[in-house]
Amino acid sequence: MAHHSAYYVPPQSHWPIIGAVGLFLTLGGAAALIYSLQQESGSLLAQIMLNSGALILAGMMIGWFAAVIAESRQGLYSPQMDRSFRYGMSWFIFSEVMFFFAFFGVLFYIRVFAVPWLDGEGDKGLASMLWPQFQASWPLMQAPNPEQFPPIREVINPWHIPLINTILLVGSSFTLLAAHKALKREDRSKLKSWLGLTIVLGLTFLGLQIYEYIHAYTELDLTLHSGIYGATFFMLTGFHGAHVTIGSIILLVLLLRVFQGHFTPDSHFAFEAGSWYWHFVDVVWIFLFTTVYLL
Amino acid sequence: MSAYAETLHHGPAKGISRWILTTNHKDIGTLYLVFSLIMLFIGGTMAFVIRAELFQPGLQLVMPEFFNQMTTMHGLIMIFGAVMPAFVGLANWQVPLMIGAPDMALPRLNNFSFWILPFAFAMLLSTLFMPGGAPDFGWTFYAPLSTTYAPPSVTFFVFAIHMMGISSILGAINVIVTIFNMRAPGMKMMDLPLFVWSWLITAFLLIAVMPVLAAVVTMVLMDVHFGTSFFSAAGGGDPVLFQHVFWFFAHPEVYIMVLPAFGVISEIIPTFARKPLFGYRAMVLATVAIAFLSFIVWAHHMFTVGMPLTGELFFMYTTMLIAVPTGVKVFNWISTMFRGAMTFETPMLFAIAFIVLFTIGGLSGLMLAIAPADFQYHDTYFVVAHFHYVLVPGSVFGIIAAVYYWLPKWSGKMYDEKLGQWHFWLSFIGVNLTFFPMHFVGLAGMPRRIPDYALQFADFNMLTSIGAFLFGTTQLLFVYILIKTVRSGKAADQLPWEGARGLEWSVPTPAPYHTFTTPPELNKE
Task: Tell me what pLDDT residue A126 has.
Answer: 73
pLDDT tens digits, one per residue of B487-517? 999 999 999 999 999 999 999 999 999 999 8
pLDDT at A125 over 80: no
Question: Of B32, B18, B178, B191, nearest to B516 (Cα)?
Answer: B178
Distance CA A242, CA B5 (A): 41
- For the residues B63-67, what does the mean pLDDT come to? 96
Question: Of B247, B239, B252, nearest to B300 (Cα)?
Answer: B247
Phi, psi angles (nearest 5°) of residue B473: -65, -30
Distance CA A151, CA A140 (A): 9
Distance CA B245, CA B233 (A): 16
pLDDT tens digits, one per residue of B337-390? 999 999 999 999 999 999 999 999 999 999 999 999 999 999 999 999 999 999
- For the residues B49-59, what does the mean pLDDT come to? 97
Give the pLDDT band of residue B1 (cuts 50, 70, 90).
very low
8 Å CB contact between B66 and B133: yes
Residues 6+ apart with CB under 8 A from B207: A91, A94, A95, A98, B169, B172, B173, B176
B-chain residue closest to A224, CA distance: B228
Distance CA B365, CA B330 (A): 15
pLDDT at A3 over 80: no
Give the pLDDT band of residue B57 (cuts 50, 70, 90).
very high
- Residue B18: which region, alpha, beta or left (left: phi > 0; alpha: psi -120 to 50)? alpha
Q: For residue B263, give the amino acid letter.
A: G
DSSP state of B302: G
Q: What secondary structure, in 3-state letters, does B85-146 show?
A: HHHHHHHHHHHHHHHCCCCCCCHHHHHHHHHHHHHHHHHHHHHHHCCCCCCCCCCCCCCCCC
Q: Do B101 and A7 touch (CB under 8 A)?
A: yes
Q: Give the Å distances, CA to CA, from B375 to A21, A32, A102.
A: 46, 41, 28
Q: For residue B280, give the amino acid letter.
A: Y
A-chain residue closest to B224, CA distance: A38
Write down the mean pLDDT value for chain B. 95
- For the residues B62-73, what does the mean pLDDT come to? 96
8 Å CB contact between B362 and B337: no
Q: Do A235 and B219 touch (CB under 8 A)?
A: yes
Phi, psi angles (nearest 5°) of residue B447: -75, 150
Distance CA A215, CA B443 (A): 58
CA distance B211 to chain A (A): 5
pLDDT at B335 over 80: yes
8 Å CB contact between B109 and A13: no
CA distance B226 to chain A (A): 7
pLDDT tens digits, one per residue of A52-78? 999 999 999 999 999 999 998 888 889
CA distance A208 to chain B (A): 23
Give the other-Cβ count within 10 Å of B328's Cβ: 18
Give the pLDDT band of residue B9 (cuts 50, 70, 90).
low
Distance CA B518, CA B525 (A): 21
Residues 6+ apart with CB under 8 A from B455: B57
Most distant CA atoms of chain A, gap in Å: 79
Tell me the domain boundaries of chain A: 1-77, 82-294
- Contacting residues of A for B23, CB less than 8 Å apart: 9-13
For chain B, how far is it from start to end, CA to CA, in angstroms?
A: 39
- Contacting residues of B for A14, CB less than 8 Å apart: 21
A-chain residue closest to B121, CA distance: A24
Task: Tell me what pLDDT residue A264 has.
Answer: 93
A-chain residue closest to B249, CA distance: A102
DSSP state of B316: H
Distance CA B488, CA B103 (A): 28
- Contacting residues of B for A65, CB less than 8 Å apart: none
Q: Do A87 and B228 touch (CB under 8 A)?
A: no
Q: How much is the ipTM here?
A: 0.95
- Establish if B472 belongs to a structural domain: yes
Q: For residue B8, give the amino acid letter.
A: L
CATH number for the A1-77 domain, one of 1.10.287, 1.10.8, 3.30.250, 3.40.1010? 1.10.287
Question: Of A119, A165, A116, nearest to A292 (Cα)?
Answer: A165
CA distance B5 to chain A (A): 9
Tell me: cis bond preceding B193? Omega within 30 of 0 counts.
no
* Residues comprising chain B, all counted: 525
pLDDT at A129 over 90: no
Give the pLDDT band of residue B306 (cuts 50, 70, 90).
confident
Sort B129 into a burial class: Cβ within 10 Å, 0-12 / 13-18 / 19+: exposed
pLDDT tens digits, one per residue of B123-149? 999 999 999 999 999 999 999 999 999
Write down the mean pLDDT value for chain A. 93
Distance CA B327, CA B473 (A): 33
Give the pLDDT band of residue B524 (cuts 50, 70, 90).
low
Count of pairs with CB atoms under 8 A, one residue in A, one in B = 236
B-chain residue closest to A115, CA distance: B236
8 Å CB contact between B315 and B299: yes
Q: Give per-residue burial for B409-432: e unless 16+ CB within 10 Å, then b.
A: bbbbbbbbeebbeebbebbbebbb
- Contacting residues of A for B219, CB less than 8 Å apart: 106, 235
Number of domains observed in the structure of chain B:
1
CA distance A150 to chain B (A): 9
Tell me: cis bond preceding B510? Omega within 30 of 0 counts.
yes
Domain range A82-294, CATH architecture: Up-down Bundle (1.20)
pLDDT tens digits, one per residue of B259-285? 999 999 999 999 999 999 999 999 999
Q: Which of B229, B231, B232 has the highest number of chain A CBs within 10 A, making it the mutation to test binding with A?
A: B229
pLDDT tens digits, one per residue of A6-54? 788 899 999 999 999 999 999 999 999 999 887 777 789 999 999 999 9
Question: Of B300, B298, B436, B295, nearest to B374 (Cα)?
Answer: B300
Beta bridge partners of B491: B413
Distance CA B162, CA A50 (A): 16
pLDDT at B521 over 90: no
Give me the residue from B1, B23, B235 closest to A13, CB to CB: B23
- Establish if B17 belongs to a structural domain: no
Domain with B176 in it:
23-506
Residues of B with a catalytic annotation lie at 74, 103, 139, 167-168, 251, 253, 255, 266, 300-301, 326, 329, 448
Task: Tell me what pLDDT residue A4 has.
Answer: 41
pLDDT at B10 over 90: no
Q: Do B241 and A76 touch (CB under 8 A)?
A: no
Give me the residue from A12, A14, A28 closest to B159, CB to CB: A28
Distance CA B212, CA A72 (A): 34
Secondary structure class of B383 (helix, strand, coil): helix
- Establish if B3 belongs to a structural domain: no
- Contacting residues of B for A25, CB less than 8 Å apart: none
Give the pLDDT band of residue B87 (cuts 50, 70, 90).
very high
Give me the residue from B174, B233, B306 closest to A130, CB to CB: B233
Task: Tell me what pLDDT residue A251 has.
Answer: 97
- Establish if B386 belongs to a structural domain: yes
Question: Of B62, B86, B87, B84, nearest to B75 (Cα)?
Answer: B84
Task: Tell me what pLDDT residue A2 has.
Answer: 36
Task: Tell me what pLDDT residue B288 has.
Answer: 97
CATH code at B267? Answer: 1.20.210.10
Q: Do B182 and A84 touch (CB under 8 A)?
A: yes
Beta bridge partners of B84: none
